[in-house]
Amino acid sequence: MNNKLSNERLVAVTGASGFIGAALCAELKERGYTVRAFAGPHSDITGLRAMGLEIIQGGLRDAGPIGQLLDGVEGVFHLAGVAGHTFKRDAEYWDVNVTATKELLHAAAEAGARRFVFCSTADVHGHISNPPGNEESPLAGDDIYQVTKEHGEQAALAANGKKGLETTVIRPSRVYGPGDMRGLRIFQDLAKGSFTMYGDGENSIHPVYISDLVEALILAYESGKAPGEAYIIAGQESISLNRMAEIIAGAGEVELHVRRLPGAMFRLYSFICETACSFFGVEPPMSRRYVDIFVKNHSYSIDKAARDLGYQPKVGLEQGARLTFDWYRDKGLI
């Protein structure tokens, strides 16, 4: 390892142009790390340039750019992947979320990196039948994103200790906050005062605000207890989806009117939509992952992260919803 760069705490961040990646890069720089950002060849890197970061663009399986990314780094935050809200062929999920992760782990170890934090998802646990779930809950993901993230986790944990590389897995719950475009649809619907709920809304959801997740990622990187471990990262409290809708509507100062539709029927409909649209290479109007927000329990214990990492979420849903609503409005999105 290059000692000069190591002393500067040089870290690589993949997926740096994304919602979580950009927030992580900003906080790492604020804390005195030297950040080398990695983004896809067609990603918008305007925000990364504004931070004054070193930026490398390429594909996760491109040896040249990956070699540049890892040269002399102390550690890696691996956030890049094919996300659950995108509609790609299964082979692309396996290629990026699993094969590219294995290759990056090997390359990081060969480059002399010391730490590797892999960002997975709490959805690898699937539906939590007896909430709250924890790290020992069964891995029961039932879509291609969740399954490939689980395999990425296995690769990351299997690499722990090889050639001095220490690896940690972070499983975030539903993350939200300023900059989150995936959650925009729900906020837009609630801002109109008319919200479609699939099911009775009594299922649990456990959102985590972006700054709390970023804090957890850095804590995992810096903790001596984290290597070889996986941690669920969620917010201050788990609530029903009905209550979440009320809080977000209140944050936007709008009156809430809920239209309820049968969850099981629309999950089947979303599956048919996905299947039909896949033949034409177009995005379906509804996805199972979106309907699952309304019909599955996503409630977790964060005791392990609190004990090992000192993780304590600071932003509750009421405050976080106000900040997110304000950001959407400032950007003219609502």
Would you say 85 and 21 are in contact if contact means Cβ atoms under 8 Å apart?
no
Query: Which residues does residue 260 pair with via DSSP β-bridges, in sequence order?
Result: 197
| Coil/strand/helix, residue 13 | strand
Residue 272 above 80 pLDDT? no
Q: What is the DSSP string of 33-81?
A: -EEEEEE-TT---HHHHHTT-EEEE--TT-HHHHHHHHTT-SEEEE--S
Average pLDDT over residues 291-308: 90
pLDDT of residue 84: 60
Which residue matches tokens 């935050």? 77
Distance CA 49, CA 64 (A): 21
Average pLDDT, the chain: 90
Residue 2 above 50 pLDDT? no
Label residue 7 by pLDDT band (50, 70, 90). very low
Please tell me the class of the 3-180+207-237+299-314 domain.
alpha beta
Mind listing the pLDDT tens digit for each residue in 54-79?
999 999 999 999 999 999 999 999 99
On the question of a cis peptide bond just before residue 41, with omega within 30 degrees of 0, the verdict is no
Mind listing the pLDDT tens digit for each residue in 41-50?
999 999 999 9
pTM recorded for the entire structure = 0.90
Distance CA 122, CA 313 (A): 16
pLDDT of residue 8: 61
More confident residue, 226 or 261: 226
Alpha helices (H) in the chain, listed in sequence order: 3-7, 19-30, 46-50, 63-70, 90-93, 100-110, 144-158, 184-191, 210-222, 241-251, 263-280, 288-295, 303-309, 317-330
Average pLDDT over residues 94-117: 96
Mind listing the pLDDT tens digit for each residue in 199-243?
788 889 999 999 999 999 999 999 999 999 999 999 999 999 999
Residue 298 above 80 pLDDT? yes
